[in-house]
Structure 1
């Protein structure tokens, strides 16, 4: 069986133990994708899609920016968005647009990968808590069991002044795979949320190369631009057909409100995802903003802002360390993202969920500073997660934390 829409000339990429036709659900392989009006023609007298030829009805006095009003909002958007994909391919050093899929945020891609690979009520996924919560949510929505292989925490926070460190236990993961042959997907969040920890490429390779795992490894890199340039698993895409890397424009590009996610993989998997996605999932205003954000000048601006945030992260960590006498423990994780996670300790120096919740609520309800309580996550007892803000926001957050912790 072939993949609809994929040229027969596309070569198969390793590893040798992986066969994508045995991973994808049979009904998905048999799916003939919906042919939308803009698949074939984008220009001319367009009388094929039942659009409104008189244009949109938004007046200049409305709230929409004037630049949007000049777009062809009465026409369906380009389903391929190859201009955007070309810029992403260049940015991430990939061969071409056939290695890229766009989604409505990375969440749509997470859901899509599950739906094409895992049969409801039969197959499983593997996650590594503490990790991004939407993996479990989408697993439940799709009636897929989520098997947990917790990250290893060494140097527990609050013990001897050492910060906790998280890492993937490859040997335990292999044992879990062997015990659960119906696992079709492994989700690795790198850098992790909420751990902020980058997973080494050697670890990703070890899982990709494990012959007993016949499924697909998903590396979620929402925060990858906040760490070193050579850390991305995208560098492995050219070698491995059983890998998909997910990225987003929400974090480093500062476009959380635009909702654009990116899947990076070999063409066979990308084609299957294209066959399954909604035909017009990226709107015209979204595409317009995204293309601008991926221009050389905008990318340069993005990288300058990342440098500022990384420097601010270092300052924030130092300022939080100065609150040690008030019960702020050493940050956990490797701090490879745009946030930090610190445990709030009791008087006896142990992580304290009750005190952390009190801090969280008091900061939000009485001081206008919103952080995230993460104490219910494995390995994160008593922890709050603090996004790196502007210099002024960070200073205010630390000042308010000092005031609240002094009173509780």
Structure 2
């Protein structure tokens, strides 16, 4: 059964062992997407969508001068947004080196993309996803919401930090994932977080390709690249999309673009999966203000600014790690993982410095927030992350503050 809206001239798709029509749930393949008012016509006297023809009613007030509202309010807010936002997709195509807009899907943050992938591909109460702890928590949350089973294959929890291949700490255990696939043919999606959260470790492309090429796996490999712009050149799995129909790469404008508040997530994959996601999404999922800000952030000038800030944050990450190393005598261990993201994870050790200490770590976490005005993230309950605090790379002043206040707290606790 073909996916509605997909051109029959596309294909054939690789790899040979993969058939998208055996992955997409039958009810989704049979779905005729909701046709919204802007599918046919976007210009003219628009009397088709029951919008308020008199426009918005937002008035400036004493706290917000009208000059600050002008640009936002001049966006035809009384009209429904473009359901597809091709201008945004065209800029993503250019930036990421993709073939065309039919390989790009926009969601309300990466979380909508994650949820839609499960709804589109995984049958509730019958099929499963595979995750590799420690990893992003929303995979498990979305699975539970969608009544989808979860198979867990932990990352390599031993070894030295930052090493690649199959031996480094937090590397992907490819052979173990293959064994899980062989043991359970109901696994439809594999979620890989690269760079990992909370590990900061990137998954090498050969490890990802090993799963894409594995004939026994008939589902889709999903690579979540929320932090990819902070990793090294050539780390992104987007370069593999042209060759693999069983790959979906998720990115976001929340991290490197600094636009967490607008909630814009991106899926990059070959057209059949993108079409299935498009057919299933809400009619106007991306708002006009969000689209306006995203398009501005994707201009050439803004991209240059983003890249400059990325380099600053990477440099600051190095400085922060050096400063945190000075707290080793107080019981702060060296960072775990590959440090490929805009955060670092460091274990708090017991007073005698012999092992990670979750109890002490939680006390320090609370004391930093409640008594010293510095909020970090406790991650000691994640596999391989015992005693860990995850610290986002901040401004130069913020980084100095977290180190100094951490020094004060660790001296006492």
Instruction: Place the TM-score, normalised by the shorter chain, in its bin.
Output: over 0.9
SS of the residue 1:3 aligns to: coil
Provide the C-alpha distance between the structure 2 equivalents of 1:318 and 1:96, rounded to a whole number of angstroms: 43
Q: 1:111 aligns with which of 111, 115, 129?
A: 115
Which residue pairs with 2:226 in the alignment? 222
Q: Is the 8 A contact 2:132 2:155 kept in 1?
A: yes
Which residue pairs with 1:372 in the alignment? 377
Structure 1, 336-345 or 53-62: larger mean CA deviation: 53-62
Which residue pairs with 2:391 in the alignment? 386
Q: Is the 8 A contact 2:157 2:383 kept in 1?
A: no
Which residue pairs with 1:243 in the alignment? 247
How far off is 1:166 after superposition?
1.1
Which residue pairs with 2:39 in the alignment? 39
Q: 2:256 aligns with which of 248, 252, 256?
A: 252
Provide the C-alpha distance between the structure 2 equivalents of 1:286 and 1:181, rounded to a whole number of angstroms: 40
Q: 2:309 aligns with which of 301, 305, 317?
A: 305
For residues 1-400 of structure 1, the aligned pairs below 5 Å read 1-61=1-61, 63=64, 65-155=69-159, 165-348=169-352, 349-400=354-405
How far off is 1:155 after superposition?
3.4
Provide the C-alpha distance between the structure 2 equivalents of 1:407 and 1:243, rounded to a whole number of angstroms: 50
Provide the C-alpha distance between the structure 2 equivalents of 1:265 and 1:12, rounded to a whole number of angstroms: 15
Q: Is the 8 A contact 1:60 1:66 kept in 2?
A: no
Provide the C-alpha distance between the structure 2 equivalents of 1:153 and 1:83, rounded to a whole number of angstroms: 43
Provide the C-alpha distance between the structure 2 equivalents of 1:37 and 1:347, rounded to a whole number of angstroms: 64
Q: Is the 8 A contact 1:194 1:385 kept in 2?
A: yes
For residues 293-352 of structure 1, give each alpha carbon's deviation from its aligned partner in whole angstroms, at most 9, with x where no partner exists.
Answer: 000000100000000000000000000011000000010000000000000001232000
Provide the C-alpha distance between the structure 2 equivalents of 1:65 and 1:208, rounded to a whole number of angstroms: 48
Provide the C-alpha distance between the structure 1 equivalents of 2:370 and 2:40, rounded to a whole number of angstroms: 54
Q: Is the 8 A contact 2:83 2:284 kept in 1?
A: yes
Which residue pairs with 1:405 in the alignment? 410
What runs of 5+ residues in structure 1 fail to find an aligned partner?
158-163
| TM-score (ref. length: structure 2) | 0.96
SS of the residue 1:166 aligns to: coil
**What is the total number of aligned residue pairs between the two structures?**
402
Provide the C-alpha distance between the structure 1 equivalents of 2:57 and 2:111, rounded to a whole number of angstroms: 31
Provide the C-alpha distance between the structure 1 equivalents of 2:70 and 2:400, rounded to a whole number of angstroms: 37
Provide the C-alpha distance between the structure 2 equivalents of 1:339 and 1:181, rounded to a whole number of angstroms: 36
Provide the C-alpha distance between the structure 1 equivalents of 2:70 and 2:370, rounded to a whole number of angstroms: 37
How far off is 1:156 after superposition?
7.1
How far off is 1:82 after superposition?
0.2
For residues 200-235 of structure 1, give each alpha carbon's deviation from its aligned partner in whole angstroms, at most 9, with x where no partner exists.
Answer: 000000000000000000000000000112110000
How far off is 1:66 after superposition?
2.0
Q: Is the 8 A contact 2:56 2:78 kept in 1?
A: yes
SS of the residue 1:153 aligns to: coil
SS of the residue 2:170 aligns to: strand
Q: Is the 8 A contact 1:12 1:241 kept in 2?
A: no
How far off is 1:60 after superposition?
3.1
What runs of 5+ residues in structure 2 fail to find an aligned partner?
162-167
Provide the C-alpha distance between the structure 2 equivalents of 1:251 and 1:313, rounded to a whole number of angstroms: 15
SS of the residue 1:152 aligns to: coil
Provide the C-alpha distance between the structure 1 equivalents of 2:385 and 2:363, rounded to a whole number of angstroms: 16
| TM-score (ref. length: structure 1) | 0.97
